[in-house]
Amino acid sequence: MSVSPRQHWIGVLARAQLNELQPHEAALKDAEYQLIRAPEIGMTLVRGRMGGDGAAFNVGEMSVTRCVVRLADGRTGYSYLAGRDKLHAELAALADAHLQGSQPSLWLSDLITALATAQAKRRAQKEADTAATKVEFFTLVRGEN
Amino acid sequence: MNAHLLQPAFVDPVLDAQRGFRAALKALAEPGLLQHLPSAPRLDGLAPATYALCLALLDMDTPLWLAPSFDTPLIRANLAFHCGCPLTDKREEAAFALLGEHDLLDLSGFDHGNDRYPDQSCTLLVQLTDLESGRGLHWRGPGIKTQRLVNVPVPQAFWLERQRREAFPRGLDVVFSAGHHLIGLPRSSRLLEERA
């Protein structure tokens, strides 16, 4: 399944950490905008499939925060993210709106690429940490006969 | 998607929705008594009170039937976004219907509930230009101590049409709205024709 550029940046913004977005807060808010849907916290049901292709079952509920903003020129930005951080949701929605503008490359290089790199690094670090704890199981031939 | 048509709705989604629900509840509990909804948002084509009712009452479980006069891209986009309610063009499927003054003469097709579940009937949200310029009629029934003089400007034929559809406990509940005000007309209210 191919991921459109917008899907990619919305995902990156949702996984970003607030302290990575905050340096851009002034730039993001430097435009006239209104909140179509003010940041709000809700619950969503996460479902999963055993082994990826089994019957669907309910894993549990998680909190999500969502927000929709509209800039003065009519572009609307959406955000959905895990957790309860309203400021993060608003900044992510603003970033989505700016990225749909006439100069998305500026925002892409400034913001999204940096965020994506940081996320990849975090992920690699975590995978490396986890890999160190990997245990290989094997069975010795029992010496009964 | 018509994202450019979207407008902000309630300023305080939780409390404003509760106020809207409370107003609808009071309107139907005390038929004919004017209810005030000061904090309602505006949307072109819908009175603030009508829009507040929609935002408070509609969600993904309540299919809505829109009268042609309300079926604009603006209203469609905002109801879909803020309420998430499915829109239906079959009257039988609707849990709520949004009507204007001219749609009152034909109430055929709406769900009247059944004898076991009369509460499953369709609720009509009727937007009028005002609620006090009509001919005075006396209402009586549950929620009214003796009788109440109400001046809702609806055509005479509406009352006949309503009576024709009535088979208590089945029937249609109506909420009239105009500007920032509401008046409820539950199926249990009866008319006492004004003499003179």
pLDDT per position as a tens digit, B26-62: 999 999 999 999 988 989 999 999 999 999 999 999 9
Integer CA distances (angstroms), B11 to A30, A36, A124, B127, in order? 23, 10, 43, 22
Q: Is the ipTM of this complex over 0.95?
A: no
For the CA atoms of B26, B143, B188, B60, the dihedral, rounded to the nearest 10 degrees, stands at 20
3-state secondary structure A24-47: HHHHHCCCCEEEEEEEEEEEEEEE
Q: Which residues of chain A have pLDDT under 50?
A: none
Residue B1 located in a structural domain: no
Question: How many structural domains compose chain B?
Answer: 1
Contacts of B7 in chain A (CB under 8 A): 36
Per DSSP, helices labelled H in chain B are 13-29, 48-57, 73-82, 156-164
Domain annotation covers residue B173: yes
At residue B1, the pLDDT reads 56
Smallest Cα distance from B82 to chain A, Å = 8
B94 within a domain of the structure (yes/no): yes
Nearest-CA neighbor of B2 among A134, A76, A145? A76
The answer to whether the Cβ–Cβ distance between B3 and A76 falls below 8 Å is yes
Give B165's contacts (C-beta < 8 A, 6+ positions apart).
B107, B108, B110, B112, B171, B172
Chain A residues touching B13 at Cβ < 8 A = 38, 40
Q: Which residues of B touch A36 (CB under 8 A)?
A: 6-8, 81
B165: left (phi over 0), alpha (psi -120 to 50) or beta: alpha
Q: Please indicate, yes or no, if residue B130 is contained in any of the structural domains.
A: yes
Q: In terms of residue numbers, what domain contains B88?
A: 12-192
Confidence at residue A52, expressed as pLDDT on a 0 to 100 scale: 85
Residue B83 is part of a domain; what is its CATH number? 3.40.50.11310
**What separation in angstroms does the CA of B139 have from each of B149, B159, B190?**
6, 12, 6
- pLDDT band per the 50, 70, 90 thresholds, residue B4: confident
In a domain, B5, yes or no: no
Spatial contact of B138 and B151, defined as CB atoms under 8 Å apart: no
Write the residue in B6, B13, B82 that is nearest to A76 by C-beta: B6
Contact A48, A61 (CB under 8 A): no
Please check whether residue B3 lies inside any domain of the structure. no
How many residue contacts between A and B have a Cβ separation below 8 Å? Answer: 21
pLDDT score at B196: 41
Nearest to B50 by CA among B178, B183, B184: B178
| Predicted confidence (pLDDT) per residue in B113-147, tens digit | 999 999 999 999 999 999 999 989 999 999 999 99
